[in-house]
Amino acid sequence: MCAFHEWDGRRTVWIGLGVVIAAAIGLALFTYVGTLLFAIFLYYATRSLYGLLDRHVDHPNVTAVVTILLVVLPMVVVVGYTGIVALRELDQVLASSGLESYRSALDPYLTMAREGNVDRFRAALTSDTGRSITSVLRQGLPSVIERLSSVAGFVFAVLARFFLMVTLLFYLLRDDWKLRRWFTRSVDHDEEIVSFLEAVDDDLETVFVGNLAVVGVATVIAAGTYVGLNLLASGGPVVGTPVLLAFLIGIGTLIPAVGMKIVYVPYGLYLLVLAVATSTPLWQAIAFFALSFTVVDTVPDFFARSFLSSRSGVHMGLVLLGYFLGTLAFGWYGLFLGPIVVVFAVHFAHEVFPALASAFLSE
């Protein structure tokens, strides 16, 4: 639009319209900034997988859907199954330690976790014990509606964010080349700008893919360690669900500073409580802590992370600092925003700042 060079008034109008549009989009995205950043993280972490599948599947929509299913679906299954297993383990602890009062208070949830169905709930509704569904509705209809409304609102909010994340991830995977081509044309193929953003793009992929690889390495090592511990234990398995715990430990490596300790330390304390309250041997908790700290926590952190960081142009110490400070400054979504800011800052310092400083000092 060459008119921009001829009439400043028209240029001002177009710039003002662009600012209004950008502000509206920015406000909408800021409301769901955590969802947006999580989608960006998954995009960079799965872009290589999408490219690999795209070479064999000649349909972008199918390739994007398969990529999302291979990554997102296991995460949802692990989180849901973790909740069920956690309730079952809590039920066993309360039953064996004499804390029946707490167990009775949590009985509706523990029952569903033990049985894995709603048969008992259905029986309670149809039983003739004076608390039939009609009497319940008569006595507490307002409170029931209020609880259902709050639960429905929470479920809707979670599903809306999940749908937004999946939608963003789908179109980023399928149409990223269109976005890249549009931006390149918009800056008139400026070599300095394009090279800067390409370097940032490459390092973001390396950092996020590296983190996903560390998750995989930690998961495999933890699963092998805990399965081996169960095989060596003569008095029964030490870790009731070694594969599930390994998945959670792998995900825990993404958390800055604390890392996988947020998973295996509480589980080790749970084993200590079992040893004190029941006849479970104390050596099981000690062996679990020792193996978790020396094998599971050390190998992925010092070896796998160091190897993967050598492929990136950004120092791993700065990336870890970005994770830590990002989480402290912005909350949970700083876990994804922190590394992005660090990568931009490093490339700005290397490629842009020296030229700006030189031009400023020469004036």
Q: What is the pLDDT of residues 3-19, one digit of tens each?
A: 455 556 778 888 889 89
Which of 186, 214, 234 is the C-terminal boundary of a domain? 186
Q: What is the pLDDT of residue 262?
A: 83
pLDDT-derived band at 310, boundaries 50, 70, 90:
low
Task: For the chain, give the number of residues.
Answer: 363
Query: pTM higher than 0.85 for the full model?
Result: no
- Record the tokens describing residue 258, joined without a space: 């604390």
Beta-carbon contacts of 312 under 8 Å, excluding residues fewer than 6 positions away, are 203, 206, 207, 210, 319
In a domain, 160, yes or no: yes
In a domain, 287, yes or no: no
Which of 135, 158, 186 is the C-terminal boundary of a domain? 186
Beta-carbon contacts of 246 under 8 Å, excluding residues fewer than 6 positions away, are 218, 219, 220, 222, 223, 226
In a domain, 72, yes or no: yes
What is the mean pLDDT of the segment spanning 323-334? Answer: 80
My answer on whether 170 and 54 are in the same domain is yes
My answer on whether 109 and 158 are in the same domain is yes
With contact defined as beta carbons under 8 Å apart, do 250 and 222 qualify? yes
My answer on whether 6 and 61 are in the same domain is no
In the chain, the percentage of residues whose pLDDT exceeds 90 is: 4
What is the mean pLDDT of the segment spanning 109-120? Answer: 49
How many structural domains is the chain composed of? 2
In a domain, 83, yes or no: yes
My answer on whether 117 and 3 are in the same domain is no
In a domain, 263, yes or no: no
Q: What is the pLDDT of residue 109?
A: 47
pLDDT digits (tens, 9 = 90+) for 152-197: 777 788 788 888 888 999 999 999 889 999 989 988 888 888 888 8
My answer on whether 44 and 177 are in the same domain is yes
R_g (Cα) of the chain, nearest Å:
27
pLDDT surpassing 90 at residue 21: yes
What is the mean pLDDT of the segment spanning 117-139? Answer: 49
Domain of residue 23: give its range.
Answer: 1-31
Which of 149, 171, 186 is the C-terminal boundary of a domain? 186
What is the mean pLDDT of the segment spanning 116-141? Answer: 50
Q: Tell whether the torsion through CA atoms of 310, 312, 318 and 319 is positive or negative.
A: negative
